[in-house]
Amino acid sequence: GENVEQHPSTLSVQEGDSAVIKCTYSDSASNYFPWYKQELGKGPQLIIDIRSNVGEKKDQRIAVTLNKTAKHFSLHITETQPEDSAVYFCAASIIRNTGNQFYFGTGTSLTVIP
């Protein structure tokens, strides 16, 4: 099956600096790559996603890049703010006849230091 690896597991940055989280996947059938943010005590929330036919997508301070050949994708957060502190999960999805099968990374705990 699919294997998604995520690094680093923890990341501390100064407010205003950039943060980068990287993920790799193993199954070339994966064609949808969402990123979720989880705040303490809550369920994950989608922050950005990218499809396999797109190389880069940006939404204000957040961007995602995808390299299909190398099977890796990354989340970039610029001008970090304390409210960006949370756990971030990458995911890869394979669309099967019975629906979407999702594989998540192990998470990155981001701390933005004021």
Partner 1 sequence: EAQVTQNPRYLITVTGKKLTVTCSQNMNHEYMSWYRQDPGLGLRQIYYSMNVEVTDKGDVPEGYKVSRKEKRNFPLILESPSPNQTSLYFCASSWASGGFGELFFGEGSRLTVL
Q: Which is nearer to partner 1, 54 or 113 (CB)?
A: 54
Count residues binding partner 1 (CB under 8 A). 28
Which of 95, 73, 57 shows the shortest CA–CA distance to 25? 73
The answer to whether the beta carbons of residues 99 and 114 sit under 8 Å apart is: no
Least CB distance to partner 1 at residue 1 (A): 6
SS3 60: coil
Q: How far apart are the C-alpha atoms of 107 and 114, rounded to whole Å?
A: 22
Site residues for partner 1, 68-107, by CB under 8 A, read 89, 91, 93, 95-96, 98-107
Q: Are 15 and 82 in contact (CB under 8 A)?
A: yes
- Distance between CA atoms of residues 39 and 50, nearest Å: 22
Our CB check for partner 1 shows the closer of 38 and 111 to be 38
Binding mask 5-34 for partner 1 (x = CB under 8 A): -x-------------------------x-x
Q: What are phi and psi of 6, to 5 degrees?
A: -130, 135
Residues 44-73 that bind partner 1 (CB under 8 A): 44-46, 49, 51
Query: Residues interacting with partner 1, by CB under 8 A?
Result: 1, 6, 32, 34, 36, 41-46, 49, 51, 89, 91, 93, 95-96, 98-107
